[in-house]
Structures are given as C-alpha cells and as structure tokens.
Structure 1
Amino acid sequence: MQIVHLLQDWWQQQTWLELCGVITGLLCVYLAAVNNIWNWPIAIISVTLYIFIFFEAHLYADMGLQVYFFIVNIYGWYYWSKKPKDEKKTPVAIITKKEVLVSVIAIAFFTFILGTLLKYTPASYPYIDSFCTACSLVAQVFLARKVLENWLIWIFVDVIYVGVYIFKDLHLTAVMYAIYVGIALMGYIDWKKDYKSQLIKATDARIDE
C-alpha cells in the first residue's frame, strides 16, 4: 500500500502541461522513427508546450532550444514534403566527413559560449545543459535533412538528459527521454534498412541502363 500512496503522491505532483508535452513528444519522435511526415506538426505542438515547461524549471538553454526546434520543425515539414515524384518518401542520406567536422566544431563552440553566459544566470547545470543543447541543435538539422546518423546523436544526448531531468524533478520528462532512447535506436535501425534498400534500388537501376 505504501508504494501505491507514493505513486499517487508522485502523480499529483505532475502537471497537465508536462503530461501533454510528454504525450506529443513521444508521438512525434515515434512518427519520425517510422518515417511519417506527420511527426512535424505534432512536434511543433510539443516544443511549444516545452518552452513554458523549461522556463518554469529554469532550464533556459533548453527553453531556447525549443524555439529553435519550432523553426527547424517547420523546415523539416517542408523538406520532407518535397520528396522526389518517383519516391514514396524522402530518401535517407549518410553523414559526410565535412558534416562531422563542422558538427564537432559547432558543438564545442556553442557549448563554451552558451555555458559561459548561462553561468551568470540562475540556470541549472549551465555547461551540461549547453552541451546537450548544442548536440540537439546539430541532431535536429540532420533529422530535418534526413541524415541517418541523427539518431546516434539523439541516443547519446537523450541518455544525458534523463539524468538532468531526474535531478530537476521533471520525472515524466525523464521517463519520456528514456523512451526516446529506445525510439531513437528503432529509428536508426529502420532508417538504415531504408538506406540499404535505396542502394539496392540504385544499383538495379544502373544495371537496367
């Protein structure tokens, strides 16, 4: 019975705003993992909710990240809708060496600059928060551009976020990010299969020529 009471107390501490953010967040990531374009409008709803959630939790870097996500989600929705006429969905791409180099530099630069700025505010874990934010900035662009390796970045950063949100008592959000890890792994496997199918299709097309 004590466990039941603890669960009831825990549930009463959760907010409807966070609950709605979790539901829409899980749904949009799942739809992205299975290559469904409807992930983008649902993602727009989710990030809008989390702008307010992170503001109240003093996670300012994450709050700013949601504004960025809002913009990139609109771009992703547009990019995915511009698929080739002979394709059912936008083809999956592989990250290039140049993109890896630019991403590493961007993450290091953004982490240092934002972390240094947030250090002088009430922000929680300024450098960890900034590092996760920088990784997420890069991952979201790769997701919008349908680059396979975006899922590997998400797996890495979501594991860190789980710990951060547990310490900030955002338990529902921590659970959501733990589930994100599993969905991101599923997304990587599913997209990799699609990429291999594209290669086979392209090879067959060259043979037919």
Structure 2
Amino acid sequence: MTSLEIAANLAATVSILLAGRNSVHTWWTGVIGCGLFAALFYEARLYADVTLQLVFIATSFAGWWSWLRGATGAPLPVRHAPAATLGWMALVSVILTLGYGAILHRFTDAYAPFVDSAVLVLSLVAQLLLVRRMVETWAVWLLVDTIAVPLYASRGLNLTAALYAAYWLNALYGGWRWRREMASC
C-alpha cells in the first residue's frame, strides 16, 4: 500500500459517500480522487482504468453543472431511466467491453484486459446515469464493485479492493436513499 493508493481512496471515498447522499459536492471531490487514481492505475498497468479515470474527470464537470443547473436552469430531480435507454446501454456495454478488451489484449501488456474493460465500460454507464441523476446508477455501481473487488485484489491493491467492497454497501444505501427521495417528490 502506497501513499498514492491511500490518498486516491480517501478522496474517492468522500466523493462516493457524497453521491450516495445526493450531494453536489460529490463532483469536485471526485475530480481529485480520479486524478489520483489515474496515476495509481497507470503504475499497476490497468490502462482501461486509467482511461476511465480521465473520462470520470470530464464527466464530473458535466455532472457538477447538470446537478446545479439541469437543462432548464433548475437542479435535476432524481428519476428513473427509460427502459429503452437501459436496453441500448446494455447492448453497447457488451460490444465495447469485448472490443476494448480485445484491443488491450492484442496491443498492451494489460493484466486481465476483458475484466478491466468491463469495469471501464460499466463504470461509464453508471457515471452517465449518475450525471443524469437516474436511480438505476446504483444497480450498475453494484455490478462494477462486484467485478472490481477481485480485480484490484489480484493486483495487490488491497486497500482499493477493500474500499470497493465498502462502496458496494454504499451503492445499496444510495439506491435506497434515492428511491426514497424520488418517492417523496
């Protein structure tokens, strides 16, 4: 465990806990955590995760804006994703996971390229749902955390694996809290 891993996990944990509480401060704390994780994953040769962190930084700015201003100038409410949106996201996820995994397998020394790619793609889907404040984000985060824990543990990133296990519990809480908030509106 390095100081970089500790700092990345600390910043990301604050951001993730704030997301579960539906707080706009999740976004700026997320930018810090993602920058630190990008450096950590580069050192661990988890290149899909590096890419993911860079995309998270970009989507964090979009989420920050969206949660504060929305499309109409008012904050976005928590809501459900349309079934058609979830369907095309699932199909695209499978295609992108296989495609990016194949690229990493063929052209890099990536460790577990298809599993790493699944974490990348599903995290992107979860992040897009989070940016739009759609409650289904939490189900996708549960899947991401389930895949990520053994991946990170296999690379010796034990603190990261342990925290992703805790994030799994936060995803349960976030889903419960967001559904409760949605029902009260």
With normalisation by structure 2, the TM-score equals 0.95
CA distance in 1, matches of 2:11, 2:171: 16
Cα distance, 1:147 vs structure 2? 0.3
State the aligned residue count. 184
Instruction: Describe the superposition over 1:124-168 as per-residue Cα deviations: whole angstroms up to 9, x where unpaired.
Output: 101111112111111100001000010010011101100001110
In the alignment, which of 73, 81, 91 is matched to residue 68 of structure 2? 81
Instruction: Describe the superposition over 1:157-204 as per-residue Cα deviations: whole angstroms up to 9, x where unpaired.
Output: 101100001110001100110110011110000000011112xxxxxx
CA distance in 1, matches of 2:86, 2:10: 32
Letter in 2 for 1:183: N
Q: Which runs of 5+ in 2 are unaligned?
A: none
Letter in 2 for 1:160: I
Q: Is the 8 A contact 2:70 2:76 kept in 1?
A: yes
CA gap 1:83/1:134 in 2 versus in 1, 3 angstroms:
closer
Matched with 1:91 is 77
Instruction: Describe the superposition over 1:67-91 as per-residue Cα deviations: whole angstroms up to 9, x where unpaired.
Output: 1101000000000011599x7x531
Letter in 1 for 2:25: W
CA distance in 2, matches of 1:152, 1:62: 20
Q: Which runs of 5+ in 1 are unaligned?
A: 1-13, 199-209
User: What does 1:177-196 align with in structure 2 at a 5 Å threshold?
Assistant: 177-196=164-183
Q: Highest CA radius of gyration, 1 or 2?
A: 1
Cα distance, 1:115 vs structure 2? 0.5
In the alignment, which of 129, 141, 158 is matched to residue 145 of structure 2? 158
Q: Does 1:109 align with 2:88?
A: no
Runs of 4 or more off by more than 2 Å in structure 1? none
With normalisation by structure 1, the TM-score equals 0.85
